[in-house]
Amino acid sequence: MDLPELHCIVIGAGIGGLAAGALLARQGVQVVVLEAQSYPGGCAATFSSGGYRFDAGATVGCGFHPGGPLDKLGRELGIDWPVRREPLAWQYRHRDLRLDLASSRENIIARFPRSQAFWDEQSRLARILWSFSAGALPWPISGGRDLLGIAGKALASLPDSVRLLPFAGRTALEWLRHHRLHDDPDFVRFIDAQLLISAQTTSRHANALNAAIALDLPVAGTWRVDGGIGAVARRLAESIERDGGAVLYGKKVTRLDSIRREVLGVETSDGDALAADAIIANLTPESFALLDDFRPADEPDAPPASGWSAFMLYLGVDASFFDRAGADHLQIVAPTGELGECRSLFVSASPVGDAGRAPDGQRAVTVSTHTKPERWFKALQQGRAAYEALKQEYTDRTLALLREQLPEFDGAIRSVTAATPHSWEQWTGRHRGLVGGYAQTSLFGVRGPATKYKNLFLTGDSIFPGQSLPGVVTGARRTVELVLRRAKKLRW
């Protein structure tokens, strides 16, 4: 059948699912997106509460730079993104150290002069990697066609591609050791803090090439999204609808109907049943356990889940406070201890003049810290009192670290709402509330979009290349490529 006769269901209106759906709809595929919530975005949604509009998880827009994944996607789909470049990506604070992360590394190199050669090398690697990520990356390889695709990209970018090879099997810490930076605890803690928020692990375990592009995000640019990060999802949903598709809200998929190695369609909690030729699931692989009678087999070499969820505080804060802080985005790191679990925070405030985000004279603020979900669900098993006590403990510890760096913060707070891994599981359908994708420890053994079902594909931050807006959009292209490849093979 022709592409207009190809029917595709997308489960979940996160950025990965919407990007895949929009690309398919633009090519004439009949696309229906089913979203359990009443709004799109998933972990990159913007929601209303108590007179504020908060960014749920993702708070920094990346990948909109010229030639970047979001810039390319917008041009293909005819989307004019409501974004403006931030003059400062974020400010890093650790003890008395202050580093402004922006398009220039000058202040970082001034504080860590021995790091000049490292940053020069990182910039060269990142330039090559951004070029590779401009299209659908044929990785992990699935057959001879992908092998030829990788070879073609490598040959086309010679000699740059050869420069990547020594880093493919190296950790970020080994890379730092090569530049004799591993023995500077302040520099390593700075690098670890950047990698945790962008690669879901620290330098001891992060792959050096993953680290190179993760460390480039502030230089490539961060972007203010008018109306909140959820505006990206809304623009993608509108693109699907303009191209003849549909995005249906309040449609929670509860079952996939299959026969042998084909998925025939889906059933929803309100009793609907929809048939499809192809299914794209914007879910973590573990989340399939929440669907009745469906357990997709993991690929043998697929990585385990990263294990991270997030504890969040959603705050209403006096607008004048951030004028004194000097930045809308702050990364605050405790003096000692492993990162995460209230010892590293990312703080983002809604921009000044972004109408409707907060009452007059205030700003909507999202504060996040990595947390392991196990203790939260154990507390839930012990009873509501234990769970609420843990939530209060994390609220107090988060506010204590904020006060340590920003003593005047307490007096500026007007409202506080907390969210936990249990909240994330409820909101997104992600098993155990896992967010952020997998820990980027290797380029090998990563998970691709394919599953054991021939017409069921994954998208989102659980597949290569992982989290962030640029990551999930790049991964969505790969998912679309495999869907269309199967369609052509079957002569749909």
Dump pLDDT digits (tens) for 281-299: 999 888 875 554 444 444 4
CA–CA separation, 22 and 33 (whole Å): 10
Question: Could you tell me which residues come within 8 angstroms of residue 374 by beta carbon, excluding any fewer than 6 positions away?
Answer: 432
Question: Which helix (DSSP H) or strand (DSSP E) does residue 174 occupy?
Answer: helix 172-178
Q: What is the pLDDT of residue 134?
A: 64
The most confident of the ranges 272-276, 292-296, 305-309 is 272-276
User: Do the domains 3-48+57-83+226-304+438-489 and 306-432 sit in the same CATH topology, yes or no?
Assistant: no
Q: What is the DSSP letter of 342?
A: T
Confidence of residue 157 (pLDDT cuts 50, 70, 90): low
Q: Please state at what angle helix 230-242 crosses helix 69-77, rounded to 10 degrees.
A: 30
Topology of domain 306-432, CATH: Guanine Nucleotide Dissociation Inhibitor; domain 2 (3.30.519)
Work out whether the CA dihedral 281, 464, 159, 214 comes out positive or negative.
positive
46 three-class SS: strand
439 three-class SS: coil
CA–CA separation, 118 and 206 (whole Å): 16
**149 has a pLDDT exceeding 90:** no
**258 has a pLDDT exceeding 80:** yes
Mean pLDDT of the chain: 90
CATH number of 3-48+57-83+226-304+438-489: 3.50.50.60
Q: What is the pLDDT of residue 150?
A: 64
Work out whether the CA dihedral 76, 77, 78, 84 comes out positive or negative.
negative
CA–CA separation, 60 and 223 (whole Å): 7
- Domains of the chain, residue spans: 3-48+57-83+226-304+438-489, 101-221, 306-432
Looking at residues 75-80, what average pLDDT do you find?
A: 98
Looking at residues 141-159, what average pLDDT do you find?
A: 66
Asked if residues 432 and 426 have their Cβ atoms less than 8 Å apart, the reply is: no
Confidence of residue 130 (pLDDT cuts 50, 70, 90): confident
Q: What is the pLDDT of residue 155?
A: 60
Q: Name the percent of the chain lying above pLDDT 90.
A: 74
Q: What is the pLDDT of residue 297?
A: 42
Looking at residues 364-383, what average pLDDT do you find?
A: 96
Looking at residues 157-166, what average pLDDT do you find?
A: 75
Q: What is the pLDDT of residue 291?
A: 58
